[in-house]
Amino acid sequence: MISPAITEEKLVIAHRGASGYLPEHTLEAYALAYGMGADYIEPDLVLTKDGVFICLHDIHLESTTNVEEVFPDRAREDGRWYAADFTLSEIKQLKVHERTNTDSTAVFAGRFPQNNSDFEVPTFAEMIELIQGLNKATGRNVGIYPEIKSPTWHAAEGLPMEEKLLDLLAQYGYEGPNARIYVQSSENHSLRMMRDDLGTKLPLVQLVDTGNNSDTGENYSSMITQEGLKEIATFADGVGPYKMYIEANPELVQWAHDDGLQVHTWTMRADSLPEKYSDFTEELNQFYFVYGVDGLFTDFTDRAV
């Protein structure tokens, strides 16, 4: 079991970059989050048809890009445009916009205007090079916090993710338990593969979503019991529970700490505040200093540092 030290440092993790201000998962959003003082910046990762990691939250493209305009005839029978059906050169023809609902309205209406400016889908390598370049230029040591999205689905498409990810990270110097990185996944078999089969020493985090995983059938609520957390501690260094799990049972933070697990919860949004809080700072303080989490993901880095 790898047990990281539980420290007094409270991490601010930029959720999809500074996504409260710029379209998510763009180099511009990552750069803004860096300038705002994030400790770690989170890219979600999927694979292209030619096996390149790109920064994208969904396995589909239409919620955050103009793929329907550029490639109108490339949807699958379910009406969705899958990143795994497009080469990197095709992905680079797309423009990124604020996340939209199925009716094309903005999910967060008060954020960056739709169809303004030109934003591209970055590769993970481009994101790493940006952060490492800024680290060199500023003397800071901001980390990255990649999440591999839907690894079971990708494997079924002939695009296994785990070994490819670790190889890419090693190329950029991310090796060993002290690397400025956390690798997260909602699928524990993927984390186990990286730890046990591929032998990585990188810090790993079990993401705990709501309900069941649609690809694996895993029940998330069973992971945040005392028994479930003890099991997670056999292969991971941290746990990333949805914040409402902690609201419902604050004890789980202490349970995780007792097992040597850090707790990084998600997602804090100043423009989507739970009713129980009068302002964003109150919510942040509740999670950092009352519940005792070690870090949190936020769309609004500047409000959390």
Positions annotated as catalytic residues are 15, 57
DSSP code per residue over 224-264:
GSHHHHHHHTTT-SEEEEBHHHHHH-THHHHHHHHTT-EEE
The encoded tokens of residue 191 equal: 């984390």
3-state helix, strand, coil in the chain (%, to 5): 35, 15, 50
Cα(36)–Cα(134) distance, integer angstroms: 13
Cα(247)–Cα(144) distance, integer angstroms: 27
Residues in the chain: 305
Cα(81)–Cα(86) distance, integer angstroms: 9
Cα(37)–Cα(40) distance, integer angstroms: 9
Residue matched to tokens 């400016």: 117
Neighbour count for residue 125 (Cβ, 10 Å)? 15
Whole-number CA gyration radius for the chain: 19
